Amino acid sequence: MGMRTVDEHLADILAALPLVPPLTLALLEARGAVLAEPVEAPVPLPPFDNSAMDGYAVVAADVAAASESDPAVLPVIGDIAAGDPGVTALRPGLTARIMTGAPMPAGADAVIPVEWTDAGTATVRITRPAPPGHYIRRAGEDVLAGQVVVPEGTRLAAAQLAMLAAVGRSHVLVRPRPRVVVLSTGTELREPGSRLAHGQIWDSNSFMLTAAAQEAGAVGYRQETVGDDPEHVRDTIEDQLGRADAIVTSGGVSMGAHDVVKLVFTGAAERSVVFSKVRMRPGKPQGFGLLQGTPIFTLPGNPVSAYVSFQVFVRPALRAMQGLPPEPLPTTGAVLTDDIKSPAGLRHYMRGRLSHHRGTYSVTPVEGQGSHQLQSLSSADALIVLPEDAEAVPAGSHVEVMRMPS
């Protein structure tokens, strides 16, 4: 149970994590999942040459001399709508009306937008010339047949789902969002909406951690809180192993006489959970292990400690379980507005508020940096990350800041 650094603790977690097994999902079910196969286009996109405008398909040479004063007048032999092949070929001296997305007829080599014409339906007067190729979208100019359009390891959002549909895929092989079961422990905890007796508080961590799991791209399942009864805690967690890809608990991991999570998993049968002290503030007491192969993160109970622990360890881990790089929250550089002190030897995460002037961020620590002070977390939008060797950091210093999800 020696002290270890944030980086060491995260590296141990990442080394032990399993990947979520891949499965095949329908496209809209796959949003937020990570592609587990490279997807290739079976055909080029567009699949055929087509019109970029509503107008007239022509042989460019027929309109080369057209002008306002001397328009080209051509017979219109029919209409070509998108999805309807209609006219399939055009001889010189003729034209066909064509709509955006409709296939170009053989023989035509340009499209004249309707705005350059009198919009005629039997014959049309064209008042401007166009070079060959004008307003034609060529087959394959978006994607070539056989091209990988979405690589393996891509998280699927709206744009990628569109790409997959556009190459004809209804289902894809993905690593789904991990299912994260969240459990708060503590006999003092009551459900929000119920009455408190002296010494009791409303459970906030399980709501926070479930939402944070969702923000990290996982599926969060909140459990009702459990008291400091080891049997009950063990049974509840074991019951969840079947449906969880990961378990996150809060509370019961420090030095108290009733630190139930620690008690349960320090027993002989469950030695795979390791409890450690990490050189960070807040978030010193941490636990991590595998229960029958399922990762469990036992986070400290102080709400801000639980939040910071989640963002620093659990968020990257959930990404890694889907095969994504284990990146932290998005970070930015900012100029500190106030003098601050930081404990030597610990990585320090302070709640702050970012502001932006003329391309530069500045960050102001918020009042109330105790690990029980949720109001300052709730009013913050950033975590200021102060390295282990920082002690007195004056206003004007450049600091690294993690942006909290909003």
Ligand X SMILES: Nc1nc2c(c(=O)[nH]1)N[C@H]1C(S)=C(S)[C@@H](COP(=O)(O)OP(=O)(O)OC[C@H]3O[C@@H](n4cnc5c(N)ncnc54)[C@H](O)[C@@H]3O)O[C@H]1N2
The span from the CA of 198 to the CA of 191, in Å, is: 15
Using CB under 6 A as the binding rule, whether residue 282 contacts ligand MOO is answered as yes
Nearer to ligand X, 373 or 397 (CB): 373
Is residue 237 within 8 A of residue 173, CB to CB? The reply is: no
User: Where are the extended beta strands (E) located within 285-346?
Assistant: 285-291, 294-299, 331-336, 340-341
Nearer to ligand X, 220 or 285 (CB): 285
- Tell me the window of 3-11, 29-37, 121-129, 300-308 that interacts with ligand X (CB under 6 A): 300-308
- Tell me the window of 23-31, 60-68, 280-288, 380-388 that interacts with ligand MOO (CB under 6 A): 280-288
Tokens of 6: 């944030």
Nearest to 313 by CA among 340, 339, 347: 347
**Among residues 206, 305, 311, 376, the one that binds ligand MOO under rule CB under 6 A:** 305
Using CB under 6 A as the binding rule, whether residue 250 contacts ligand X is answered as yes
Using CB under 6 A as the binding rule, whether residue 348 contacts ligand X is answered as no
At CB < 8 A and 24+ separation, what contacts does 130-135 make? Answer: 130/58, 130/60, 130/63, 131/60, 132/60, 133/60, 133/109, 134/60, 134/110, 135/51, 135/52, 135/53, 135/55, 135/110, 135/111
Using CB under 6 A as the binding rule, whether residue 230 contacts ligand X is answered as no
Q: Which residues in 342-381 contact ligand MOO (CB under 6 A)?
A: 371
Using CB under 6 A as the binding rule, whether residue 9 contacts ligand MOO is answered as no
What is the per-residue DSSP string for 128-164?
S---TTTTEEPTTSSB-TT-EEE-TT-B--HHHHHHH
Q: What is the Cα Rg of the chain in Å?
A: 31
Using CB under 6 A as the binding rule, whether residue 134 contacts ligand MOO is answered as no
The span from the CA of 127 to the CA of 201, in Å, is: 79
What does the DSSP 8-state code read for residue 380?
-
Using CB under 6 A as the binding rule, whether residue 303 contacts ligand MOO is answered as no
DSSP run (H or E) holding 375: helix 374-378
Nearer to ligand MOO, 129 or 300 (CB): 300
- Give min distance, CB of 229 to ligand MOO, in A: 24
- Tell me the window of 198-206, 236-244, 276-284, 385-393 that interacts with ligand MOO (CB under 6 A): 276-284
Q: Within 10 Å of residue 109's Cβ, how many Cβ atoms?
A: 19
Using CB under 6 A as the binding rule, whether residue 6 contacts ligand X is answered as no
**Among residues 55, 71, 186, 283, the one that binds ligand MOO under rule CB under 6 A:** 283
Is residue 306 within 8 A of residue 369, CB to CB? The reply is: no
Using CB under 6 A as the binding rule, whether residue 281 contacts ligand MOO is answered as yes
- Tell me the window of 80-88, 123-131, 204-212, 277-285 that interacts with ligand MOO (CB under 6 A): 277-285
- Give min distance, CB of 13 to ligand X, in A: 18
- List, in sequence order, every residue forming a beta bridge with 222; answer none if it has no partner: 182
Instruction: Give the interface size with ligand X as a residue count (CB under 6 A).
Output: 27
- Tell me the window of 263-271, 279-287, 342-350, 393-401 that interacts with ligand MOO (CB under 6 A): 279-287
Residues in contact with ligand X by CB under 6 A are 184, 186, 188-189, 201, 203-206, 250-256, 259, 282, 284-285, 300-303, 305, 371-372
Residues in contact with ligand MOO by CB under 6 A are 281-284, 300, 302, 305, 371
